[in-house]
Amino acid sequence: MSAQSARRDSHTVQSLLAVAVEVFNVRGYDGTSMEDLAKAAGITKSSIYHHVAGKEELLRLAVTRALDGLFTVLDEPPAREGAAATRLEYVIRRTCAELIENLPYVTLLLRVRGNTAAEREALERRRDFDHRVAELVAEAIAEGDLRADLDPRLTSRLVFGLVNSLTEWYRPQEHGVGGSGEADHSAVADALVALVFDGVRNPAAPKTPGFA
Amino acid sequence: MSAQSARRDSHTVQSLLAVAVEVFNVRGYDGTSMEDLAKAAGITKSSIYHHVAGKEELLRLAVTRALDGLFTVLDEPPAREGAAATRLEYVIRRTCAELIENLPYVTLLLRVRGNTAAEREALERRRDFDHRVAELVAEAIAEGDLRADLDPRLTSRLVFGLVNSLTEWYRPQEHGVGGSGEADHSAVADALVALVFDGVRNPAAPKTPGFA
């Protein structure tokens, strides 16, 4: 036994979870063994079993944390009251912030493929989330704020594809103004909301031949 | 030895690659063993070594195929001549089509994390691609067709985050008109281009208070 693996176990479930999520994101869930987790956490495999039933419980806890964050947004008053387009904008901004706040957890959530029961449940909840956003898009079209030619389901998928893609490249230290986390969130969320609602076209430009 | 693994090897490198990419996408590259690949291909491990040097060569061939498809787009005449905004639109449409055409290969490309030399080279080429698109966005801003307040690098990342997110949910059989692959590509690409250039807002709508 190495000096590292013999270290006294000062982990909580939450601190162990943070380590596990990092390892899952680097090696892939399927590619991670309990041995890998024990090494990364600096404790023995049997110490891990004092905290959780095993690898799948860690996965379940991690994706549940990510999903609970997203669903919380849908239940906040500004997501439930007022014009649907305004609620949609709120949901987009807040899910960007949630995603950035819980970056490793949401990254893991977006990579689950349905190989285990925990993964299939997570995919089911993601579909439910998409469905609720598609309803919001449909309402905003009915209220006349969004273009009538939009397909609500396709639009919901594209918009959340865009939000989710932040996990692929967003690194807190690289972005934002003055290095503050708050500014980070809102600069990226502003750019994303502007793209979703108004696109990149300069409204003052004369129409370029052959351009969109 | 099972009847399946004893089956005569009728694979080419390309057919073996197609099998490997499917397995990598389900199990993760790190979670896939040569044994898994042999089982999925219905041949022995030693037969695989007749075709390729190993797992990493399969990964390299797969991501190279995906990347070559994307870079080909940048070299096509409509991506090199004319107004930058028109070229950008062309690049977005064509990369959507390439992605859908090579769906499993691009899906794998987008999941590589830099754990091996092949993966690090792929990430390097992806950054190069992003850089060339960011230049196109900067030119289109300078030409006045795109909004002057856009950050070219952030915009390039958001737009290709959006394109890349198709790998997460696009399944050819679910989309398009009349089930034709062509219609598939263009219906999704149309929706995506419309979102990128003009956003979801109904231009005829009176401004909703508090909405974007």
B150/A200 CB distance under 8 A: yes
pLDDT tens digit string along A92-116? 999 999 999 999 999 999 988 888 9
pLDDT higher for B206 or A24? Answer: A24
The CATH code for residues A13-52 is 1.10.10.60
Report, as an integer, the average pLDDT of A137-152.
Answer: 95
Which residue type occupies B143?
E
pLDDT at residue B176, as a whole number: 47
| % chain B with pLDDT above 70 | 89
- Is a pLDDT exceeding 70 seen at residue A7? no
A30/B31 CB distance under 8 A: yes
Cβ contacts (< 8 Å) between B205 and chain A: which residues? 144-146
How far away is chain A from the Cα of B211, in angstroms, using its nearest Cα?
5
Place of tokens 């023995």: A44
| % chain A with pLDDT above 70 | 89
pLDDT at residue A151, as a whole number: 93
pLDDT at residue B182, as a whole number: 55
Instruction: Give the class (CATH, top level) of A60-198.
Output: mainly alpha
pLDDT higher for A205 or B53? Answer: B53
ipTM: 0.82
Q: Where in chain B is the domain with CATH 1.10.357.10?
A: 62-198
B200/A146 CB distance under 8 A: yes
Residue of A nearest to B168 (CA): A161
List C-alpha distances in Å: B6 to A53, A115, B43, B60. 39, 27, 6, 27
pLDDT at residue B3, as a whole number: 47
pLDDT at residue A177, as a whole number: 42
Q: What is the mean pLDDT of chain B?
A: 88
Cβ contacts (< 8 Å) between B129 and chain A: which residues? none
pLDDT at residue A173, as a whole number: 66
pLDDT at residue A174, as a whole number: 59
B86/A210 CB distance under 8 A: yes
The domain covering B62-198 belongs, at the CATH homologous superfamily level, to: Tetracycline Repressor, domain 2 (1.10.357.10)
Q: Which of A147, A166, A202 sits opposite B147 (nearest CB)?
A: A202
pLDDT at residue B124, as a whole number: 95
A212/B146 CB distance under 8 A: no
pLDDT higher for A31 or B37? Answer: B37
Which residue type occupies A105?
Y
Cβ contacts (< 8 Å) between A188 and chain B: which residues? 154
Q: Where in chain A is the domain with CATH 1.10.357.10?
A: 60-198
Q: Which of A30, A155, A192 sits opposite B200 (nearest CB)?
A: A155
Q: Where in chain A is the domain with CATH 1.10.10.60?
A: 13-52
A113/B26 CB distance under 8 A: yes
Position B207 confidence tier, pLDDT thresholds 50, 70, 90: low
A148/B202 CB distance under 8 A: yes
Mutate which: A155, A165, A177, A185, vs B, most B CBs within 10 A: A165
pLDDT tens digit string along B101-112? 999 999 999 988
pLDDT at residue B205, as a whole number: 83
Mutate which: A158, A168, A190, vs B, most B CBs within 10 A: A158
- Is a pLDDT exceeding 90 seen at residue B96? yes
